[in-house]
Amino acid sequence: MPCTLALETSNAEGSVAVWRDGAVIFDQSFTSERSHNSQLFAPLGEALALCGEDLARIVIGLGPGSYTGVRIGIAAAQGISWSRNVPVIGLPSVIGVEATDFILCGDARRGAYFTAVVADGWLSGEILQHDAAAFKATRDAASALPWYSFDAKAPLGLEEITLIKPSAAVLAKRAAMLRDETVFALEEQPLEPVYLSAPFITMPKKSTA
């Protein structure tokens, strides 16, 4: 049966999974911090060996999260895609959670925080950025949805935010639910990390000499 290989490297705890015939048949996590490039390939090799010639599609989590981690995952996915002539698609890592209706939040750096609403297992609308005051006000507003975060600790130390990790196994499951026309459209899109803001560039000071 055809296999879907999934990679999730946007977080310090990465994962690799294989989905086949309606079920996850391989799911391995690894804690890597800044060394995804050295920790990813052992579980990836096991997953590829399990797929054999049945690998039909690759799905990669695009973040938001570690830019370096996502880029490493994309590079690995593209290398396999080219060598085995199989398509690869990207999905936001925020949907790599078993829950179906929730708000994911996190530290967007430089004093900003983000929120993403997930409905029925899929990202609903845009990922929004807030300053600290607006983020706290958003969290304090009445909401029946649970709040989650991929961060190591709750943003601003706010209560009732559950810490979780994105999962390659869930991304594979979500990808398997997509209609063929959606998959074909995703295959045509470039693989890029989910950017929460434009890159910050420090300009060199002019010499006074």
CA 13 to chain centre: 11
Return the CATH class of domain 3-94+166-187. Answer: alpha beta
**Cα–Cα distance for residue pair 132/105, rounded to 1 Å:** 12
Per-residue confidence band for 201, with pLDDT thresholds at 50, 70 and 90: very low
| pLDDT for 207 | 52
Per-residue confidence band for 200, with pLDDT thresholds at 50, 70 and 90: very low
Residue pLDDT, tens place only, 177-188: 898 899 999 999
56 CB-contact burial (10 Å; exposed 0-12 / middle 13-18 / buried 19+): middle
From the list 87, 38, 40, the residue with the least C-alpha distance to 59 is 87
Residue pLDDT, tens place only, 105-145: 999 988 999 999 999 999 999 999 999 999 999 998 867 89
| pLDDT for 143 | 75
What are the residues facing 112 on neighbouring strands?
109, 131
> What long-range pairs does 133-139 form, CB within 8 A, spacing at least 24?
135/105, 139/105
Where do the domains of the chain lie? 3-94+166-187, 99-163
For the chain, give the number of residues: 209
